[in-house]
Amino acid sequence: MRKSSFTAILEREGNLFVALCPELDVASQGATVEEATANLREAVELFQECADRSEIDARFRDSGHTPKIRHLTARIEETR
C-alpha cells in the first residue's frame, strides 16, 4: 500500500483529546496528545486497509482535501 500523510486536528474535550483526520473523516481519542495521535494513525491505517478505494476517493472529494500533505500535522484547540 502507498504511504500517505494526513492532517490530524486535536481538540481537548474534558479529560480526553479527540483527534480527527478531516481528509478521511476518521476520528479517535486518547488521554494524551500522543495517545490520541497514535490511535488516529491506527484508525486511518485500518480504514485504508478495509475501505473500498471508491469510498476513500469519495471522502477526499467531499472534504475538498487532496492527499498531497507530506507529514502528519497536529493542531490543538482549547475549548472552553
Domain boundaries, the chain: 7-72
Q: Is the pLDDT of residue 38 over 90?
A: yes
Scanning the chain, the segments in alpha helix (DSSP H) are 33-50, 53-63
pLDDT at 1: 44
Topology at the third CATH level for domain 7-72: Double Stranded RNA Binding Domain (3.30.160)
pLDDT tens-digit series, residues 39-79: 999 999 899 889 888 888 888 776 665 544 334 455 555 55
pTM value is 0.71
Backbone region of residue 26 per phi and psi (left: phi > 0; alpha: psi in -120 to 50; beta: other values): beta
Pairing outcome for strands 7-13 and 73-77: parallel
Q: What is the mean pLDDT of residues 30-45?
A: 94
pLDDT at 77: 52
Scanning the structure block, which residue is given the C-alpha cell 478495509? 50
Report whether 27 contacts 40 (CB < 8 A): yes
Burial class for 44, CB neighbours closer than 10 Å (0-12, 13-18, 19+):
buried
